[in-house]
Amino acid sequence: MKLVILGGPGAGKGTQAALLCSKLGIPLVSTGEILREEIAAQTDLGKKAESYVEEGELVPDPTIISFIRKRLVQPDTAKGWLLDGYPRTAFQAEELDFLLDELGQRLRWAIYLKLPDSVLMERCLNRQDGRLDDREEIVQRRIDLFNDRTIPILEYYDYRDRLLTIDAAGPPDRVLQEILQGVDPAKG
């Protein structure tokens, strides 16, 4: 099962991604989490990404695409994966399809966790994990970027019959059930 999960900041992508991966037994590739770890460790990737992540800007496509290209050929990804936070731009979505074509693989679903902007903002401001990019003006920038750069991808996936839109307003266990029913009705 090959999945991507999309949603604005605070939509619950990280929470749902972790729950789904343990339920489905597939590895999680969360670009945001990985970037935060690489920044903390001051690796080459971390140093390249740091200023973008802190300001709520997108890390440039070539940097993130080359990371994903390396990650999705690791042996643990053979039977499936879930990408959290990738793709975020139309270019990244196309690149993912090119890569999967090369590997003879296919993306099953793009899961979109849908929430109004005002709720996204409220959730980020109430988050307890102290992320530097959860300050109000930075969250607003991330919401704007989501609307400008990521929302257009939804059409790309919808056109290819791979879009699963989920109302993300409910409690996490209800959202999870809805996703599971959507990705595989037998598991719901």
52 binding ligand AMP? (CB under 6 A): yes
Task: Name which of 20 and 53 has its Cβ closer to ligand AMP.
Answer: 53
36, 41, 23, 100: CA torsion to nearest 10: 80
* Residue 95 tokens, joined: 């690149």
Give the CB-nearest residue to ligand AMP: 32
Residue type, position 117, single letter: D
2 binding ligand AMP? (CB under 6 A): no
CA 66 to chain centre: 16
Q: Which of 7, 9, 111, 121 binds ligand AMP (CB under 6 A)?
A: 9
* Torsion over CA: 111, 112, 115, 118 (sign): positive
Q: Which of 5, 11, 17, 59 binds ligand AMP (CB under 6 A)?
A: 59
Residue ranges in 120-179 that form contacts with ligand AMP under rule CB under 6 A: 133, 142
Q: Which of 81, 86, 109, 146 binds ligand AMP (CB under 6 A)?
A: 86
Q: Of the ranges 56-64, 95-103, 110-118, 164-172, which one interacts with ligand AMP (CB under 6 A)?
A: 56-64
Containing 9, the helix (H) or strand (E) segment is none
53 binding ligand AMP? (CB under 6 A): yes
10 binding ligand AMP? (CB under 6 A): no
Residue type, position 49, single letter: A
Task: For residue 178, give the nearest of 107, 114, 106 by alpha carbon.
Answer: 114
Q: Which of 31, 81, 157, 166 binds ligand AMP (CB under 6 A)?
A: 31
12 binding ligand AMP? (CB under 6 A): no
Range 63-91 burial, b when 16+ CB lie within 10 A, else e? ebbebbeebbeeeebeebbbbbbbbbbee
Residues that bind ligand AMP (CB under 6 A): 9, 31-32, 35, 52-53, 56-59, 64, 85-86, 88, 92, 133, 142
